[in-house]
Amino acid sequence: NAGVTQTPKFRILKIGQSMTLQCTQDMNHNYMYWYRQDPGMGLKLIYYSVGAGITDKGEVPNGYNVSRSTTEDFPLRLELAAPSQTSVYFCASSYPTRTTNEKLFFGSGTQLSVL
Amino acid sequence: AQSVTQLGSHVSVSEGALVLLRCNYSSSVPPYLFWYVQYPNQGLQLLLKYTSAATLVKGINGFEAEFKKSETSFHLTKPSAHMSDAAEYFCAILSEGGSEKLVFGKGMKLTVNP
C-alpha cells in the first residue's frame, strides 16, 4: 500500500538553485495538491490539480510551478530558490470530497532548506 | 471566503484528563469540516469529518467533535488523554464554490504530561 509517495525527504538548496519535488500516488485519485507548512501557520495550498492536464493556483503559488501529465504524478518545481521557500512541503491526493466522502491522503513530506 | 480559526498554538493536558481543542469556522454556506492529526515527522491523517449528517461525529482513537451552527464551532474532544495523543491537530474547512480545496487552521500542538 504505497499511497502518496514524496521524494526527496530532505533537501538543502542554495539561493537561486532549482529543483523538483516529486509526488506520485497509486490510488487513481483525480485530485492532487501541494501544501507548504510553516511553524504556527498551518498548511497553505500552493497548487492543485483536478485531473491530468489541469492545474490551478492555490493561496501561495508565487515561485512555484506544477504540471500534471499523468493521473499518478504531480511534481512541484522551484525555479529560483529563495530563503522564503524554506518549509515542509506536503503532497496530497483525493477523490472529490463532497461527492464521494473520500478523505485527503498525505505524503510524508519534504523538508526543504534554502540557504 | 471560508475559514477556520484555532485560537492559541499549544495545549498541555495531563494523561487521563479531558482533551478539548477549539475550532470556529466562518462560512456563508453549510460547511464541510474536518479534523486532521499530524504525528511528529509524518504527514497529516484524517481524524474525523462533518458533512451535514449527524452533528456529533466520532473519529479514530476515541476523538469526537460536535458541530454547533449557533456557535459556528466544531470543537474536538477526547474524554481521557493518552500519551500517544501528543501531536499537532488541524481543523479544516472545504472551500465553497465547487472546488475541492481544504483550508486549514494554524494548528494546535497537544502535549500530554504523565
Instruction: Return per-residue pLDDT of chain A as tens, 115 residues.
Output: 679 999 999 999 999 999 999 999 999 998 999 999 998 888 999 999 989 999 999 999 999 999 999 999 999 999 899 999 999 999 999 876 665 555 788 999 999 999 9
DSSP code, position B16: T
pLDDT in tens, chain B (114 residues): 789 999 888 999 999 999 999 999 998 888 889 999 999 888 899 999 998 778 999 999 999 999 999 999 999 999 999 999 999 999 999 877 656 788 899 999 999 999
Residues of B with CB under 8 A from a CB of A: 6, 9, 32, 34, 36, 41-46, 49, 51, 90, 94, 100-107
Q: Which residues of B touch A41 (CB under 8 A)?
A: 106
Q: Which residues of B touch A90 (CB under 8 A)?
A: 43-44
Q: Which residues of A touch B97 (CB under 8 A)?
A: none
Do the chains contact at B100 and A101, CB–CB below 8 Å?
Answer: no
Do the chains contact at A90 and B104, CB–CB below 8 Å?
Answer: no
Do the chains contact at B43 and A92, CB–CB below 8 Å?
Answer: yes
Provide the shortest C-alpha distance from residue B70 to chain A (in Å). 23
Q: Which residues of B touch A43 (CB under 8 A)?
A: 44, 90, 104
Q: How many CA atoms lie less than 13 Å away from B88 in the CB half-sphere?
A: 22
Name which of B6, B101, B107 is nearest A58 (Cβ-Cβ): B101
Q: Which residues of A touch B49 (CB under 8 A)?
A: 101, 103
User: Cα dist. A7→A73, B11, B65 in Å?
Assistant: 12, 32, 34
Nearest-angstrom CA–CA distance, A80 and A27:
32
Nearest-angstrom CA–CA distance, A26 and A28:
6
Nearest-angstrom CA–CA distance, A115 and A64:
17
**What pLDDT does residue B29 have?**
83
Q: How many CA atoms lie less than 13 Å away from A107 in the CB half-sphere?
A: 30
Do the chains contact at A42 and B105, CB–CB below 8 Å?
Answer: yes
